[in-house]
Chain A
Amino acid sequence: GDSVTQMEGPVTLSEEAFLTINCTYTATGYPSLFWYVQYPGEGLQLLLKATKADDKGSNKGFEATYRKETTSFHLEKGSVQVSDSAVYFCALASSYKLIFGSGTRLLVRP
C-alpha cells in the first residue's frame, strides 16, 4: 500500500541554519504531496503542497519539490528561526485520505 517515510528527529539547529527534512514515498500513480506542521499545543496546519511532478510548493520560506524520479518531497528552508520549532509531517493523498509519515521534530535554538 501507499506509504510515507521521513527522517527521524529530533533535528536540532541553531537560528539561521539551513534546514532539510527528508521525505520519500511509495505510491501507485502520482499522488499529491503535502507538508503539514504542528506547533506546540496547536492542530495540524498545511504548510505547502505539490500536485504533480516537478511542482515546487513554497510558503513562509519553506520549499519542497515533487521529485518523481526519486519519489521524494524533501522540505528545505534557507534560514530557520526559533519560531519554526515544531513537528513536521510529510503526507500523500491516496484518493481522499491522507497518509502521513511519522513526523520530524525540529528544535531551533537561539
Chain B
Amino acid sequence: GAGVSQSPRYKVAKRGQDVALRCDPISGHVSLFWYQQALGQGPEFLTYFQNEAQLDKSGLPSDRFFAERPEGSVSTLKIQRTQQEDSAVYLCASSLAGGSGATDTQYFGPGTRLTVL
C-alpha cells in the first residue's frame, strides 16, 4: 500500500543495547514526525522534520535519542544504551505540506513496539 510503514514492528532489546527504528513516509510528504506512546497513554511528540531538516527535537527524552532523515524521505530513530523506561510504541507520521501545517492531516504508521529487558 501507499501508507506509512515502519520496521521492525517489534523489537526486544537488552538494557544497554543500541536500537534503530525505521520509518518510510508516504511518498512526497514533506513533513515527518516521531511520537512515543507509553502503554495506556496517548502518543507524545518527539521530533519533527521538514524534508531533511530537523526543525524541532524538543520532545526527545534524553541525548540517548537521535533521529535523522538525511535525504528527506526515510527516517531513522536511534536509541543508544536503551533503558527499561524506553519501552514503548514508537509511532511515525507524515504529512503532505511543510510550514506550520496546523490543519494538515498526519498519517500514522503501525508503530514499532520496543521492549527493553
Contact = CB atoms under 8 A, between A and B. Distances in A.
B45 interface: yes
A73 interface: no
A95 B102 contact: yes
Interface in A55-110: 89, 91, 93, 95-103
B33 interface: yes
A91 B93 CA distance: 14
Contacts, number: 62
Interface residues of B, number: 29
Interface size grouping (class) on chain A: 20 to 34
Interface stretch (B11-19, B36-44, B71-79): B36-44
B45 A44 contact: no
Contacts of B106: 46, 98
17 contacts: A4-B42, A36-B108, A43-B3, A43-B91, A43-B108, A44-B91, A45-B108, A51-B103, A91-B42, A95-B100, A96-B48, A96-B56, A97-B56, A97-B59, A99-B45, A101-B42, A102-B42
Interface of A: 4, 31-32, 36, 42-46, 49, 51, 89, 91, 93, 95-103
